[in-house]
Amino acid sequence: MINKENISRDLWPSVNIECLSERDKKIFLNRKYAVDAYIDNNKSLKEIGETSGIARSELYRMIGRCLDTNVEGIPYGYTALIPYKRTIEYERKQTINGFKDDQNLTGAFNKFLKIYPQLEEFIFDLVFPNKRRGPQSSVLRVKEIHKKFIQECKRLDISPDNGDYPFNTEDYAKRSLYRYIDNLKSKNPSKTISSYGSNAKMLYNNTGIGGSPKNIERPFERVEFDGHKIDVSLAIKYTTLEGDEVVESIERIWLLAIRDCATRVVLGYHICLAKEYSALDVLLCIKKSILPHKSPNFTIPGLNAPEKGYHSQVIPETKFAVWGEISMDNAKANLAKIVKDICKKIIGCGVNAGPVATPTRRPIIEKFFDLLEENGFHRLTNTTGSKPSDPRRKDSENEAKKYEITPYEIEQLVEILIAQENNRPSKGINSLTPLEAMRQRINRMMPFKTLEEEYRDGKELTSQYDSRTVRGKITDGRRPYIHYLGVDYRNEILADSFHLVNTTLSLKIDTDDLRFISAFLPDGSELGILTANGKWGIRKHSLKLRKVINKLIKNGEIRLAFDDDPLDFYHDYLREKGTKNKNSRNQIAQMQSHLRENPKEQTNFVVNSRINLTDEQSNQRKKKKIPAERYFFNS
């Protein structure tokens, strides 16, 4: 007897009867009437039988089918009343062995696997190989799986001579195996998708699950950050140690950008010329997105700096605007301690770190990169295309060298392309341009934060904090100093303060300019700005560059005297390595970019002809009989 009180039809899946044929619709509605009448207790079993023509036993059977659950634990409900709807798997009762011309083998394969469960496990391991069990060169084709399946059947003494299944079929159960494998893959999607590459796996793991994302309407409520390798080959012109001016290709460069989620405005960008971007590059992108926009100097004929392409140019009140949340992947550079500290303490925003290589989690910034490539870079003669097989990828490196397409020219192009995107109508924001959408929403008094006044010089956005102990010895005449990353620092006050020896000072370090360090006493009092000794204190250089040069010195690849300029020697080192090494040429490009941004350092300086190279480098020089009189940076 069925307990009607425990039946909850609210959980039953519904049926769209318009999908059924007229005959099946009539049968379904009759069955539904009978089931509902019984559960609602509106009519007796006799009345139901008379009206519907469904006997008591058949009615009980149909209700039982409705209460059965599928693999997800959901009742079949009214779907069980659809004519010919199968709620349980067909189980064959007849024998599967022997030779018969008229033999019907429906369900034979499943019955065969129940007799030989070891074969079921064998097929599963072939379809989803466990890498820990041994190397697997590639996913096996179904044809190869069938061959191994037949071999395993013979190993289990399943005899072809006696008409044992599958040898009593025309194709040795090949089609049945194919259907079984298809069903196996559909029931194990995570294992199946892994064999189709990382992109398919990424999409499967990061789409179609979880709740709907929050609808962002307020400008600067959330922004997305990401880095993208631009699809172009580039070249640089530089002077070799032999004095020859050459044009050579470099590694592809990075474009880092921040885009507002609500309005689609690209707030700022940064070009990274290194092979991989660092935490400092992330901070520079953040800095450029907050401070009022500054365009590069344009050298391409016919191109001019945009005057209304960026939010701080068009909407003055958004100068120094900061966001409430930044979404980025959990790449090492993005989640460096200095990046998280500045986001939290200076900007006052949360960091939403998603998984690496999952563009579906940051669709707004990824869409921007796609648009930038299709509307700009993929139209250039030096494009690498979107993939190796892209027909647009035709000898891109030689094209870059032929036309001397440099990173600086690409930066100018990026400046224009982003300005165009900020002024291009988008359906996602009601066919407004991103800047129009931002303007309208700010006019509707949607609130946003701005950077504190004390941080608006931008130095805090690239600063980190550390501490060092004051050294010095009055008996040796050694004035007090601190030592940071291989260089001594002091100022006039510290130089005369022997009482501070062995005192730990707090330091504020601008990672973009290591010439100077701000020092503070233990009680928080400012000691002043300390200057690096020697040539380290003359020319601007970053924390990253100092570490690179220190590593070369430690490895004996560069040797410096006190009066030597480390940046000069580093540049000469790169020029020697650059003849064979692309990465070194990228670093030369960074040096050239540094000189453009700091024109006061761009002087015709002379480097001592006796460069402190290693013995091996010196011997190579002697063999080539290369004169080394003067070395100049390219202007």
Give the DSSP per-residue string, 322-338: E-SEEEEE--TTTT-HH
CA distance 429 to 438: 10
pLDDT digit string, tens, across residues 225-240: 999 999 999 998 888 8
**Side chain identity at 48, as an amino acid letter?**
I
Give the per-residue pLDDT at 422.
Answer: 96
CA distance 541 to 511: 9
CA distance 478 to 495: 9
Q: Could you count the other beta carbons within 10 Å of the beta carbon of residue 615? A: 8
Residue 485 has pLDDT above 80, yes or no: yes
Torsion of CA 18, 19, 23, 27, to 10 degrees: -80
Strands 254-260, 245-250: parallel, antiparallel or unpaired by DSSP? Answer: unpaired
Give the per-residue pLDDT at 177.
Answer: 93
Burial of 120 (0-12, 13-18, 19+ CB in 10 A): middle
Give the per-residue pLDDT at 1.
Answer: 59
Give the per-residue pLDDT at 604.
Answer: 36
Confidence of residue 21 (pLDDT cuts 50, 70, 90): very high
* Reported CATH class of domain 223-294+307-406: alpha beta
Burial state string for 347-386 with b = 16 or more CB within 10 A and e = fewer than 16: bebebebbeeebbebbebbbbbbeebbeebbbebebbbbe
Residue 195 has pLDDT above 50, yes or no: yes
Q: What is the DSSP string of 583-635?
A: HHHHHHHHHHHHHHH-GGG-------SS----HHHHHHHHHHT----------
More confident residue, 188 or 212: 188
pLDDT digit string, tens, across residues 129-141: 875 444 444 578 8
| Mean pLDDT value across residues 202-209 | 59
CA distance 572 to 561: 15
Candidates 167, 169, 165, 129; CA nearest to 145 is: 129
Q: Do residues 280 and 543 make contact, with C-beta atoms less than 8 angstroms apart?
A: yes
Q: How many CA atoms lie within 13 A of 338 on its CB side?
A: 22
Mean pLDDT is lowest, of 1-5, 322-326, 408-412, 578-582, for 1-5
Residue 120 has pLDDT above 60, yes or no: yes
| Mean pLDDT value across residues 610-630 | 38
| Mean pLDDT value across residues 256-272 | 96
Distance from chain centroid for Cα 254: 13
Phi, psi of 45 (to 5 degrees): -60, -35
Q: How many CA atoms lie within 13 A of 329 on its CB side?
A: 18
pLDDT digit string, tens, across residues 516-529: 999 999 999 999 99
Give the per-residue pLDDT at 135.
Answer: 47
pLDDT digit string, tens, across residues 393-407: 778 889 888 988 999
Candidates 104, 298, 138, 237; CA nearest to 635 is: 237
| Mean pLDDT value across residues 595-620 | 47
Q: Do residues 288 and 270 make contact, with C-beta atoms less than 8 angstroms apart?
A: yes
Written as six digits, the tokens of 574 are: 């790169």
Residue 613 has pLDDT above 50, yes or no: no
Q: Do residues 102 and 49 make contact, with C-beta atoms less than 8 angstroms apart?
A: no
**Side chain identity at 150, as an amino acid letter?**
I
Give the per-residue pLDDT at 204.
Answer: 60
Strands 254-260, 223-229: parallel, antiparallel or unpaired by DSSP? Answer: antiparallel
pLDDT digit string, tens, across residues 267-278: 999 999 998 999
Q: What is the DSSP string of 71-109?
A: TTS-B-GGGGGSTT---S-----S---S--TT---TTHH
| Mean pLDDT value across residues 572-587 | 87
Distance from chain centroid for Cα 188: 26
Pick left, alpha or beta for residue 477 (phi over 0 → left; psi -120 to 50 → alpha; otherwise beta). left
CA distance 175 to 354: 43
Helix H or strand E segment including 54: none
Q: Is the peptide bond before 166 cis (omega within 30 degrees of 0)?
A: yes
Distance from chain centroid for Cα 264: 19
Give the per-residue pLDDT at 281.
Answer: 94
**Tokens 């946003």, residue located:** 448
Give the per-residue pLDDT at 342.
Answer: 94
CA distance 153 to 455: 75
Residue 380 has pLDDT above 80, yes or no: yes
Confidence of residue 82 (pLDDT cuts 50, 70, 90): very high
- Percent of the chain residues past pLDDT 70, beyond the cut: 87
CA distance 530 to 468: 12
CA distance 618 to 477: 38
| Mean pLDDT value across residues 341-351 | 93
| Mean pLDDT value across residues 526-538 | 93
Q: How far is CA 188 from CA 119, 185, 322, in A?
A: 18, 5, 45
Give the per-residue pLDDT at 491.
Answer: 95
The chain-wide mean pLDDT, for the chain, equals 85
Q: Could you count the other beta carbons within 10 Å of the beta carbon of residue 619? A: 11
Helix H or strand E segment including 18: none
| Mean pLDDT value across residues 543-555 | 92
Written as six digits, the tokens of 475 are: 């008996």
- Percent of the chain residues past pLDDT 90, beyond the cut: 51
CA distance 385 to 276: 20
| Mean pLDDT value across residues 558-570 | 86
Q: Do residues 38 and 4 make contact, with C-beta atoms less than 8 angstroms apart?
A: yes
Q: Do residues 196 and 218 make contact, with C-beta atoms less than 8 angstroms apart?
A: no
More confident residue, 197 or 455: 455
Burial of 38 (0-12, 13-18, 19+ CB in 10 A): buried
Give the per-residue pLDDT at 102.
Answer: 55
CA distance 184 to 161: 30
Biggest CA–CA distance in the chain, Å, is 118
DSSP type of residue 131? G
Q: How far is CA 596 from CA 111, 549, 570, 634, in A?
A: 77, 21, 18, 10
Residue 622 has pLDDT above 60, yes or no: no
Confidence of residue 198 (pLDDT cuts 50, 70, 90): low
Mean pLDDT is lowest, of 12-16, 19-23, 189-193, 305-309, for 189-193
pLDDT digit string, tens, across residues 54-78: 999 999 999 989 988 887 788 899 9
Confidence of residue 608 (pLDDT cuts 50, 70, 90): very low
Q: How far is CA 204 from CA 15, 20, 152, 356, in A?
A: 29, 33, 34, 14
Q: Do residues 541 and 568 make contact, with C-beta atoms less than 8 angstroms apart?
A: no
Say what the pTM is. 0.69
